[in-house]
């Protein structure tokens, strides 16, 4: 009897146990608030609820921005500024209108790498209408886009020496507007914007390079040296040699000529000479003249649209491109081996050259500091712009994900409910 009873009782118990197990897995819903709704799989993959996910992304973004700022700071060498400059003096941006009346004027100082830079201007800039350069000719036609025969560049390789051989700041500022009109360029001169640029070089290297150039027969004796409407008299500007040139001159002879124009050439060519009576050395005492010349050269250099340094070719290229929003086709090349670098001089000779060029030494120190500060400011500005761009991209991505999330969750709920309804029917 007991065996028959157990035989009939066991199957219903096993069936009940099976139903309980099945019910546990396929239950259509949780009663009341006994269990929390399980988040969709997509939300789980993205890291939880939208609020938590957004907090995590913002924290990650903040960490990323801090890391980017640290990397940007580490990428730039630490610069100890020697001279204080205002933001407007460091941020150089020119809205250069090549189709309008804007003109770049290149002040070419001897032996500063100006010939190389001048060729970059006419042959290496990516232009809508490139300069037309004929084979075998130094000058190129740099016309404005759109068929205008007006030129946007005033330089040795575009307009020639229209204001005299190696014209200085004093000559160019008084000559260029009239020279542009004489070329038959259309338009009123008052509508033109002239942007002056130049190149500077370490004074000792530049001086040695000029000596080697003169030693090979260069003279520049056709330079006009115009100031206040006239050229200097022979008494105001005597020559250092007799005959056609100074070929074969020794370095000692070159240094011994007290009125050698190689001395402090960069300061003289960048200063307003009319402030000191031009080439009349009796106009004021020497110390006052030197102080005025140096300060004038600094001011003119600082206010130029752009200047570069021969010792920093890549930085020169970068700053020019940033200033004028123009791009070079090929990168600049830094030549560390030059005729000047091949000259073996002692420390006493170097000191003597620095004494002869003491104004240029001070100007170059000022120019180098300003140049490097401008480069660092531009790089920091570029990094900041890139960080803001990446931050905006992350914000847009978060918004895009936020718009997609409700649709994905709704799709997950629809799929779950449809599956549960099918199980209930089964």
Tell me how far the alpha carbon of residue 334 is from its chain's centroid.
Answer: 17
Percentages helix, strand, coil for the chain (3-state, rounded to 5) are 55, 5, 40
Three-class secondary structure of residue 306 per DSSP: strand
Instruction: Give per-residue burial for 36-70: e unless 16+ CB within 10 Å, then b.
Output: eeeebeebeebeeebeebeeebeeebeeeeeebee
Is 225 noted as a catalytic residue in this protein? no
Integer Cα distance of 60 and 247 in angstroms? 70
* HEC secondary structure over 125-137: ECCCCCCEECCCC
Edge to edge, the sheet with strand 306-309 lists 153-154, 102-107, 193-200, 306-309
- The 3-state DSSP class for residue 396 equals helix
Among candidate residues 143, 166, 213, 383, the one labeled active-site is 166
- Neighbouring C-beta atoms of residue 217, cutoff 10 Å: 11
CB 93 within 8 A of CB 324: no
Dihedral, CA of residue 82, residue 87, residue 88 and residue 90, to nearest 10:
50
Which residue, 96, 223, 91, is CA-closest to 153? 96
Alpha-carbon distance of 175 to 55, in angstroms, equals 65
Which of left, alpha, beta for 113 (phi over 0: left; psi -120 to 50: alpha)? left
How many helices (H) does the chain have, and how many strands (E)? 13, 6
Nearest to 214 by CA among 247, 244, 185, 182: 247
CA dihedral 212, 213, 217, 218 (to 10 degrees): -150
Provide the annotated active-site residues.
166
């Amino acid at each position: 009897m007991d065996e028959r009873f157990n035989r009939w009782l066991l199957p219903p118990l096993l069936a009940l146990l099976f139903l309980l197990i099945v019910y546990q897995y396929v239950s259509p819903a949780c009663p009341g608030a006994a269990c929390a709704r399980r988040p969709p799989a997509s939300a789980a993959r993205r890291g939880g609820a939208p609020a938590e996910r957004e907090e995590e992304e913002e924290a990650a973004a903040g960490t990323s921005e801090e890391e980017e700022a640290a990397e940007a700071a580490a990428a730039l060498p630490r610069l100890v500024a020697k001279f204080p400059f205002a933001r407007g003096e460091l941020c150089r941006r020119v809205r250069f209108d090549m189709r309008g009346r804007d003109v770049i004027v290149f002040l070419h100082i001897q032996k500063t790498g100006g010939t190389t830079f001048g060729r970059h201007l006419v042959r290496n800039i990516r232009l809508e209408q490139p300069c037309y350069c004929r084979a075998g000719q130094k000058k190129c036609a740099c016309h404005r886009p759109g068929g205008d025969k007006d030129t946007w560049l005033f330089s040795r390789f575009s307009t020639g020496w229209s204001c005299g051989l190696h014209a200085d700041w004093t000559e160019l500022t008084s000559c260029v507007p009239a020279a542009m009109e004489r070329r038959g360029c259309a338009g009123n001169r008052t509508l033109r914007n002239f942007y002056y640029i130049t190149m500077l070089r370490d004074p000792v290297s530049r001086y040695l390079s000029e000596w080697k150039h003169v030693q090979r027969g260069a003279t520049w004796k056709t330079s006009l040296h115009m100031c206040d409407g006239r050229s200097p008299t022979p008494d105001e500007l005597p020559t250092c040699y007799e005959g056609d040139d100074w070929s074969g001159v020794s370095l000692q002879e070159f240094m011994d000529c007290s009125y050698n124009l190689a001395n402090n050439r960069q300061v003289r060519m960048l200063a307003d000479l009319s402030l000191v009576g031009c080439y009349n050395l009796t106009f004021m005492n020497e110390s006052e003249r030197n102080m005025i010349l140096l300060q004038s050269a600094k001011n003119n250099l600082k206010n130029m649209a752009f200047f570069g340094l021969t010792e920093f070719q890549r930085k020169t290229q970068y700053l020019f491109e940033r200033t004028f929003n123009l791009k070079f086709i090929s990168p600049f090349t830094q030549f560390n081996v030059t005729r000047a670098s091949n000259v073996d001089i002692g420390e006493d000779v170097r000191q003597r050259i620095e004494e002869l060029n003491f104004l240029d030494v001070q100007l170059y120190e000022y120019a180098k500091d300003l140049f490097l500060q401008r480069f660092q400011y531009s790089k920091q500005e570029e990094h900041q712009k890139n960080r803001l761009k990446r931050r905006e991209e992350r914000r847009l991505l978060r918004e895009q994900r936020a718009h997609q999330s409700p649709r994905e969750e709704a799709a997950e709920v629809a799929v779950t409910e449809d599956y549960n309804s099918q199980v209930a029917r089964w």
